[in-house]
Amino acid sequence: MNRRMIEGRPQGVGVGTGSEDEWESLTVTWGAEKFAPVQYHSFDMGPLSVTITSEPGLSLAEAHARALAHLKQMAEAQFNEQVVAFAERVKLAASAVRGGR
């Protein structure tokens, strides 16, 4: 997949409550991104967030890895949906410019 990022932060940034050993929840956010597959036209996606609550035996690092894995799946799905919808809009616009041909 070719992603041309203009702005955004596609990495996870975690905000947790509590210490490494005693934590209640962890929120990881995938920042908003803007993609420009064609000059002068773009689409946005995100931001996306996942919150993991503490479970017995689950370390903060494991929770972060789990949340980031979920975010990657969500971002991939949203990107695939957005790029298809974007392509359809470009086709419609091009057809309108050509007079519906």
Residue 53 domain-assigned (yes or no): yes
For the chain, residues with pLDDT lower than 50 are 1-14
Compute CA distances 9 → 59, 65, 80, 99, 100, whole Å.
25, 17, 18, 40, 39
Which pLDDT value is given to residue 97?
A: 82
Residue 101 domain-assigned (yes or no): no
Through-space distance between the first and last CA atoms of the chain, rounded to whole angstroms: 30
Which pLDDT value is given to residue 16?
A: 52
Domain range spanning residue 37?
5-96
Beta strands in 1-101, from DSSP E residues, in sequence order: 5-8, 13-18, 23-30, 33-38, 41-45, 48-53
Counted domains in the chain: 1
**Whole-angstrom distance, CA of residue 70 vs CA of residue 93:** 35
Which pLDDT value is given to residue 99?
A: 75
CA quadruple 70, 71, 76, 81: dihedral sign: positive
Residue 68 domain-assigned (yes or no): yes
Residue 36 domain-assigned (yes or no): yes
